[in-house]
Each structure stands twice: as structure tokens, then as C-alpha cells.
Amino acid sequence: MLYRECGNFKDNYAKDMAIFPIPLDRWGLGIMLVFAFLVIPFTASDYWLSSIMIPFYCFSLAALGLNFLTGYAGQVSLGHAAFMAVGAYSSLILYGRYGIPLVPSILGGGIVSAIVGSIFGIPSLRIKGFYLAVSTLAAQFIIEWVLTHWKWVSGGVFGTIDVPNLYIFGALLDTPLKKYYLVLCIVALMITFGKNLVRGQLGRNWMAIRDMDVAAEIIGVSLFRYKLIAFAVSSFYAGVAGALITITYYGAANIEEFNLFLSFHLLGMIIIGGMGTILGSFLGAGFMVLLPIFINQSMLTFMERVPSNLRANSEAIVFGGLIVFFLIVEPYGMARLWHTIKEKMRLWPFPY
């Protein structure tokens, strides 16, 4: 048992406040990074890279964005798929129509999405819970409508923009491997940034608002400021995720991909994975991406006669069932289950 805090004393607060204060967490992260950067790219097939790993990273990023807003700051959003769409469309417009380089275009998409997200976040200053959920639902519909009906956006064909050839620093981004690396680099940087945000003053203020908003404001947290920042950061992450998944996986910005179901799915991901944790966003997204594959495979192997429409539905049934399970049994999701195991090991062998 190496994973423990006993006998691992910190002699100053700087060390206690390091991003991962426990050595094994740091190693664990190191191993994961090596795995993601060096092992997966050279062992996984093109299919795995482009159809599983890339969507997994992108959905993790989007789920993380929603987690900032919902898990940390305690505000609901049913419009996050639409914020992803805003990022997707605007990054393609920046890249394809205005010839802005790829990475700035992707980030630009995120910024446009952040602006749109903060505008739709304004009602959160007045309303909470169910009513806020309904008003973000309106965001989903309004954005969908605008993106399909505003001719300027698609510049011709309604509602879709094809992804042109992608160049980064003059090199053509053509193979799944190159796209994988693009996505991985951006996602890794944004996770580090996000992890720092939530463990610092911003994250604490978000959680304070989530846990007790009136007290938070009296203590000195500006609800106006921090709620709007939550909406902005959250939609920035969603927007970048939408841009990335569109250019590296879907191949065209298409509003169909970003419908209300995806908004619900994102919410499901953070419920299953874990509200208010970074890890939870990944567990939830991984789960969502792998579940259909797993169900399909097992049905193919074990129940060859299952009709395909039942297979499709079984996915929704399992997913829905799990959401209910986690909401009732473990509201903090898979990340908390993992955390509980860690806490047990952390103080081992002296659990008091």
C-alpha cells in the first residue's frame, strides 16, 4: 500500500497546496499522461483513435464544462449541447471563412460560446433550480433555431458547414493520429487549467454559491460576478469541445449532433461520473462513449436474436437506470466511489 498520507508529512503549506498533494496521485497522473501520449497512439487502431478516444476526450471536456457550472457552482443548464454547437459553428466560420489559424479558431469558437453562454446565464441572477433549468432549455431551442435559420451562419446549405482540410503550422492534419494529438494536447491543457481554477479562489467561491448562496454573498462573494463567470467558463469549455469534436470526428458542423438529447446526456454524464469533481467528468464521458459499444458487443455475443431496435433502446434503459441509481444511492457518482476507496487506503494502516 503506497497510497497513503500516514508518514507523509508536509513541512509547509506550499506543498500541502500543490496540485496533487499525495505522491501516488502525481504518479498516477504521470502514468495516465504517458499512457495517453505514448501508449495509446501506438497501440490503438485508427478506429479506436478516431471513433472512441477522440469523442471520449471531447465529451469529457464538455462534461467538465458543465461540471463547473452544475457540480461546482450549483447552476443547472439544459442548453450545453447548444453551447457546443456555437463553438463548433463559430470556429469553422473563423477558420474556413476568415482564414484564422486552426488553434486560435478553436479557442475563438470557445470565446463566442462563452459570450453566448453568459448572456443566457443572466437569468440565473434572478431564478434558481427548476426555473433556471427551463430558461436554459430555452437557450437550447433559441440557439438551434438561430443556427438553422440564419443564412449567414452556414453560408448556403441550411444548418451545416463542412470541415475543410485542416492545416496546423502548415502541416495537413489528415491522419487519426494527428487529430488525436491535437485533441489530446488541447484537452490536457484545459483540464490542468480547470483543475487549478476549481481548487483556487474561483472554485471555492463557486462551491460557496452552490452550498449556500445567501451566506456566500454576505461573506463577500459577488453572486453576479461568479455566476456569470461560471456560465462563461462552462460554455467556453463546451464550445471548444464542440469545435474539436466537429473538426476531428463529425467532419461537418451539423446542428443535429447538438440537440437536446446531448444536453441531457451531458447532465447524465456528470451525475454518473460525479458532480463537482474533475475525474467524474471523465468517468461519466468514458462511460457514455463505451456503454453503447459494450452493450452492442455483449448483445451480439450473447443474444444474437435481440432485434436491433431493442439494442438501441437498451442503451437508453441502462443509462437512465444508472442515472436514477446514482441520484439515489451515490449522488456524487463514480468519482466518489473511487474517492471512498482512496480515503480508506490513504490512512492505511491506521484508519483513525
Partner 1 sequence: MSQKTEPILQMEAIEISFGGLKALDKVSLQVYPGEIMAIIGPNGAGKTTLLNVINGVYTPDNGRIFFDGKERPLKIKPHHVAAMGISRTFQNLALFKGMDTWSNIMVGRTKKMHAGFFSQGIYWGMSQKEEIEHREAVEGIIDFLEIENIRKQPAGMLPYGLQKRVELGRALASEPKLLLLDEPMAGMNLEEKEDIARFILDANEEIGYTIALIEHDMGVVMDICDRIVVLDFGNKIAEGTPDEIKSNPKVIKAYLGEAEGGGE
| Contact set with partner 1 (CB under 8 A) | 13-14, 16-17, 19, 193-194, 196-197, 200-202, 204-205, 207-208, 210-212, 214-224, 229, 276
Give the total residue count for the chain. 352
Cβ closer to partner 1: 105 or 205? 205
Cα separation, 241 vs 223, in Å, equals: 27
* Between 194 and 242, CB nearer to partner 1: 194
In the complex, minimum distance from the CB of residue 244 to partner 1, in angstroms, rounded to a whole number: 19
Name the residue nearer to partner 1 (CB basis): 171 or 329: 329
Residues 333, 272: contact at Cβ < 8 Å? yes
The residue written with cell numbers 444548418 in the block is 159
Return all residues near 167 (Cβ < 8 A) that are at least 6 apart: 102, 173
190/39 Cα distance (integer angstroms): 21
The nearer residue to partner 1, 203 or 268, going by C-beta atoms, is 203
CB of 157 to partner 1, least distance (A): 38
The nearer residue to partner 1, 174 or 211, going by C-beta atoms, is: 211
SS3 3: coil
Q: How far is the CB of 276 from partner 1 (least distance, A)?
A: 7
CB 203, min distance to partner 1, A? 9
Q: How many CB atoms are closer than 10 A to CB 249?
A: 18
CB of 214 to partner 1, least distance (A): 7
Shortest approach of partner 1 to residue 251 CB, angstroms? 31
Tell me whether residue 38 or residue 212 sits nearer to partner 1 (CB atom): 212
- Enter the C-alpha cell of residue 330: 451515490
First to last CA, the chain: 17
What are 120's three cell numbers?
Answer: 443566457
Q: Specify the residue for cell string 463546451.
A: 238
